[in-house]
Amino acid sequence: MKALVCLALFLTGCSGPSRGENAAMEEQFTVMRDTMIANQIAARGILDPKVLEAMHAVPRHKFVPEEYSREAYEDYPLPIGEGQTISQPYIVAFMTEILRPRPGQKVLEIGTGSGYQAAILAEMGAEVVTIEILPSLAERAQARLTELGYGRVRVMTGDGYRGYPAEAPYDAIIVTAAPERIPEPLIEQLKVGGRMVVPIGRYTQELKLLRKTADGTTVEDVLPVRFVPMVGEVEK
């Protein structure tokens, strides 16, 4: 279809958006992104400057299908294909803030989706390994991340229930699909002193913050949420 459109434009002597038009569109997206940060994120208590800087730096409209690009900075999730969604911007910022990623830390993400959350973590200086169970989403996310300069993010295709032990232990783990219980392999792969943010539940979900200490783990309920369910081995 794209080839036919290009041929039609060539035959009619027309062209796609000019460089100036593209620049103007990107300026509009920057304004929309600034408004999102001010009204949806900072105004609701997300104050970590590193999180706010990362949310400003990452172009969320590049992580959604083109037909949704104008909605990319609105206060709700959007479909990205395969029955999956990109999370509401506030939730991305909130989970990132309580995870507390720091430059040089190794972070495992379960549920790559569009790659947006991984880009936010990478923008904050984390070394990111992310797992996506759906091959088509994993392939698109890796291509998108590489195109946007986040090629150091490693996207793995597989079942995130078992994490990625080859790179363990991790300073932090973030889960963006909801299991009914915290997967034990993920706890095992978390460093002592590490933090895990994970939504738990099927119909009623609660975002939980797990901290791992030398004496065990503590789990804190932090926010009611709604995520797509985790699938794969966790369902057995």
Say how far apart CA 141 and CA 154 lie, in whole Å: 10
State how beta strands 106-110 and 127-132 pair: parallel
Number of domains present in the structure of the chain: 1
In-domain check, residue 95: yes
Active site residue 87: yes
* Position 192 in a domain: yes
Q: Amino acid letter at 94? A: F
Residue 84 lies in a domain: yes
The answer to whether the CB of 62 falls within 8 A of the CB of 115 is no
**Assigned token pair, 227:** 């995520």
For helices 49-57 and 19-36, angle between their N-to-C axes, nearest 10 degrees? 150
* Beta carbons of 72 and 61 less than 8 angstroms apart: yes
pLDDT by residue for the chain (236 residues), tens only, comes to 444 334 343 334 445 566 677 888 899 999 999 999 999 999 999 999 999 999 999 999 999 999 999 999 999 999 999 999 999 999 999 999 999 999 999 999 999 999 999 999 999 999 999 999 999 999 999 999 999 999 999 999 999 999 999 999 999 999 999 999 999 999 999 999 999 999 999 889 999 999 999 999 999 999 999 999 999 887 77
Give the DSSP H/E element, type plus range, for residue 137. Answer: helix 135-147
166 lies in a domain?
Answer: yes
Give the active site residue among 18, 87, 114, 136: 87
133: in domain: yes
Q: How far apart are CA 115 and CA 66, in angstroms?
A: 15
Query: What is the span of the domain harbouring residue 117?
Result: 75-235
Q: Where are the beta strands (DSSP E) in 142-186?
A: 154-157, 170-175
Answer yes or no: is 69 within a domain: no
Write the CB contacts of 21 (distance below 8 Å, at least 6 apart in sequence): none
3-class secondary structure, 184: helix
Q: Which residues pair with 217 in a beta bridge?
A: 212
Q: Is residue 19 part of a domain?
A: no
Q: Within a domain: residue 160?
A: yes
Supply the CATH number for residue 153's domain. 3.40.50.150
